[in-house]
A and B are shown apart, each in its own frame.
Chain A
Amino acid sequence: MSAPLLEIENLRVSFPTQKGIIDVVRGVSFTLGRERLGIVGESGSGKSMTGRAILKLIRAPGTIRADTFRFDGIDLLKQTEKAMRRIRGARISMVMQDPKFSLNPVMTVGEQIAEALQTHQRLSRRETQKRVLTMLEAVRIDDPERVAGLYPHEISGGMGQRVMIAMMLIPEPDLLIADEPTSALDVSVQAQVLDIIDEQVRRKGMGLIFISHDLNLVSSYCDRILVMNTGEIVEECQAGELRNAVHPYTRGLIAAIPRLDETRDELPVLDRSAWVAK
């Protein structure tokens, strides 16, 4: 493996609350090469905050600290907001968990994808338009001309996710952070959209951080998996080995997945006392 794309040591994200400062990410460390890294874990475990921290998109009064926090050799903590703006989109892009909220409500989706492309490349209007439509088609939008002219509130949940993915892939970033990018897609469209992301990983050597609740999906799609619980990484494994995970927390998550031939009347829920005591 070449030099890592991302090196993170002891990352902490904190928020002041009425009861004092709380750490929502507590000493997370990992490195990422040109590979597909999955992050799973319960709701509220700090997955999105970890992703946002990498782009320094934690809103004040939240704070980020780390011992090492480097992207492609650049110390992210030392970058000014202006420098970060040059990195965002062009070099590191993030598909936000709630795309329709993250899209600009007063611009059509076509205009927004065009804008993302322009940060990367100078092209004529016609060429830009063509690339936008091709990209929409690539993410399985059947009638790209109509959809390019729609505003975010006029598209479906899954179309919003695909528009966001199109926007984030079109500048060909070095690192893509995808936060629940396909949770609103039917399995058939999902498979095709993942193929497009995969293509950029293989062809351009893009690194991918894939945050998802879907353990089956992550274990079949990623190379390596981190399991987070209350702001910490509790287990790390090769993706194919997720089924053999040993941490009781990870095992609890796996047991809670419903099956297509489900016969249980009630799904097991996590017994948090099982590992919190440690």
Chain B
Amino acid sequence: MTALSLKHLDISYGETQITHGISLDIAEGESFALVGESGSGKSTVLKAVAGLAPQWTGSITVFGQPRSHGIDQHFARHCQMVFQDPYGSLHPRKTIDAILSEPLAIHGIGNQNSRVEDMLVAVGLDRKFRFRYPHQLSGGQRQRVAIARALMLEPKLLLLDEPTSALDVSVQAEILNLLKRLRRQQNLTFLMVTHNLPVVSFLCDRLAVMRHGRIVEIADVADLKRGALQEPYSRELMDISVAHAG
């Protein structure tokens, strides 16, 4: 089954058109990466799917259901997003405990206490953080809370916007292992934005490269690993990544 299908998606903010004809299909259980130039519209694509960028034409289909242009409570149960900036997305005056319990309360799910506890363990956060506020955590600790919150409802499709770019490599490794395990156990589907190509190699099956609001190339991760991307811009990104790793 197709988990997410985008067809000729043009997304705008006011007068400015940001994306041009984005089309892609992601199978259920697949892990798909969106990489490319800063400002090219990667977050905007995720926001449109999540209902946060309502001004678009074309089509968005999630598990066979066409998506409406706004927020959709039923949809939220199956599709969750982890935002790029971990400060902005956590309520400053709620404790971590409240932030994680809230989605359960909204959707009438019981057993809140143990679910919150288990999730903190799953994302590698010590229990001492449970009753702290976001500003009392480091950047990486906050990002783990954001990931934990998205996972609370056990969604089937997870939209991840740079989920590990605020994390050090050791926590990144823990989160990547966790995402990989969850995907295997729960047949999760990922659409993940990242600029880190090695992360794509580790976690994803396919990738799309974006520039100036368009997809310039869609490739298998095997091609990335072999250094066989085709488009000049994709090759530029790949070459710098290789040089960088020394």
Partner-B contacts on A (CB < 8 A): 15, 19, 40-45, 48, 59, 97-98, 100-101, 141-142, 146, 154-160, 162, 180, 183-191, 213, 215-217, 219-220, 243, 252-254, 256-262, 264-270
Contact of B201 among A15, A45, A97, A259 (CB under 8 A): A259
A257 to B87, CA, bound (A): 25
A157 to B46, CA, bound (A): 13
Q: Which residue of A lies closest to B193 (CB)?
A: A157
A59 to B137, CA, bound (A): 13
Q: In the bound complex, do residue B172 and residue A217 qualify as a contact, i.e. CB atoms below 8 Å apart?
A: no
A249 to B241, CA, bound (A): 25
| A42 with B197, Cβ < 8 A, contacts A48-B139, A256-B173, A269-B173 known | no
Provide the main secondary structure of the chain A interface. Answer: loop
Q: In the bound complex, do residue A262 and residue B202 qualify as a contact, i.e. CB atoms below 8 Å apart?
A: yes
Residues in B whose Cβ lies below 8 Å from that of A160? 85
24 contacts between A and B (CB under 8 A): A40-B168, A42-B170, A43-B138, A43-B140, A45-B168, A97-B166, A146-B16, A158-B195, A160-B85, A183-B165, A184-B162, A185-B38, A186-B35, A186-B237, A187-B240, A187-B244, A188-B37, A213-B169, A243-B246, A253-B170, A258-B202, A259-B198, A260-B241, A265-B180
Q: In the bound complex, do residue B177 and residue A188 qualify as a contact, i.e. CB atoms below 8 Å apart?
A: no
Q: In the bound complex, do residue B84 and residue A253 qualify as a contact, i.e. CB atoms below 8 Å apart?
A: no
- Residue-wise, chain B 178-215 has the 8 Å CB interface mask toward A (1 for contact) of 00100000000000000111110110000000000000
Provide the main secondary structure of the chain B interface. Answer: helix
Q: In the bound complex, do residue B139 and residue A98 qualify as a contact, i.e. CB atoms below 8 Å apart?
A: yes
B242 interface hit (Cβ, 8 Å): yes
A257 to B173, CA, bound (A): 7
How many residues of chain B get a CB closer than 8 Å to chain A's CBs? 56
B19 interface hit (Cβ, 8 Å): no
Q: In the bound complex, do residue B201 and residue A267 qualify as a contact, i.e. CB atoms below 8 Å apart?
A: no
A51 to B166, CA, bound (A): 16
- Residue-wise, chain B 220-246 has the 8 Å CB interface mask toward A (1 for contact) of 000011110000000011101110111
| A100 with B85, Cβ < 8 A, contacts A183-B165, A213-B167, A217-B244 known | yes
Q: In the bound complex, do residue A216 and residue B88 qualify as a contact, i.e. CB atoms below 8 Å apart?
A: no
Q: In the bound complex, do residue A188 and residue B202 qualify as a contact, i.e. CB atoms below 8 Å apart?
A: no
A141 to B237, CA, bound (A): 18
Which one of A97, A100, A258, A270 has the greatest number of beta carbons of chain B within 10 Å?
A258
A5 to B245, CA, bound (A): 31
B39 interface hit (Cβ, 8 Å): yes
A253 to B166, CA, bound (A): 15
- Residue-wise, chain B 26-49 has the 8 Å CB interface mask toward A (1 for contact) of 000000000111110001000000
Residues in B whose Cβ lies below 8 Å from that of A97? 139, 166
Q: In the bound complex, do residue A270 and residue B170 qualify as a contact, i.e. CB atoms below 8 Å apart?
A: yes
Q: In the bound complex, do residue A186 and residue B37 qualify as a contact, i.e. CB atoms below 8 Å apart?
A: yes
Residues in B whose Cβ lies below 8 Å from that of A59? 135
B163 interface hit (Cβ, 8 Å): no
- Residue-wise, chain B 66-99 has the 8 Å CB interface mask toward A (1 for contact) of 0000000000000000001111100000000000
Residues in A whose Cβ lies below 8 Å from that of B138? 43-44, 48
Q: In the bound complex, do residue B199 and residue A156 qualify as a contact, i.e. CB atoms below 8 Å apart?
A: no
- A196 to chain B: closest CB distance in Å? 15
Residues in A whose Cβ lies below 8 Å from that of B141? 43-44
- A232 to chain B: closest CB distance in Å? 15
Residues in B whose Cβ lies below 8 Å from that of A269? 170, 173-174, 177
Contact of B224 among A157, A186, A260, A264 (CB under 8 A): A260
A187 to B242, CA, bound (A): 10
| A191 with B240, Cβ < 8 A, contacts A156-B43, A216-B245, A253-B169 known | yes
- B142 to chain A: closest CB distance in Å? 9
Q: Which residue of A lies closest to B161 (CB)?
A: A157
Residues in B whose Cβ lies below 8 Å from that of A262? 198, 201-202, 225
Q: Which residue of B lies closest to A270 (CB)?
A: B170
Residues in A whose Cβ lies below 8 Å from that of B173? 256, 258, 267-269
* Nearest 9 pairs of A and B residues by beta carbon: A43-B140, A158-B38, A267-B173, A101-B87, A256-B173, A258-B198, A262-B201, A187-B240, A213-B168
- B89 to chain A: closest CB distance in Å? 10
B176 interface hit (Cβ, 8 Å): yes
Residues in B whose Cβ lies below 8 Å from that of A146? 16
Q: A185-B38, A262-B225 are in contact. List 5 more A-B contacts (CB 8 A).
A: A186-B237, A213-B140, A262-B201, A264-B202, A266-B177
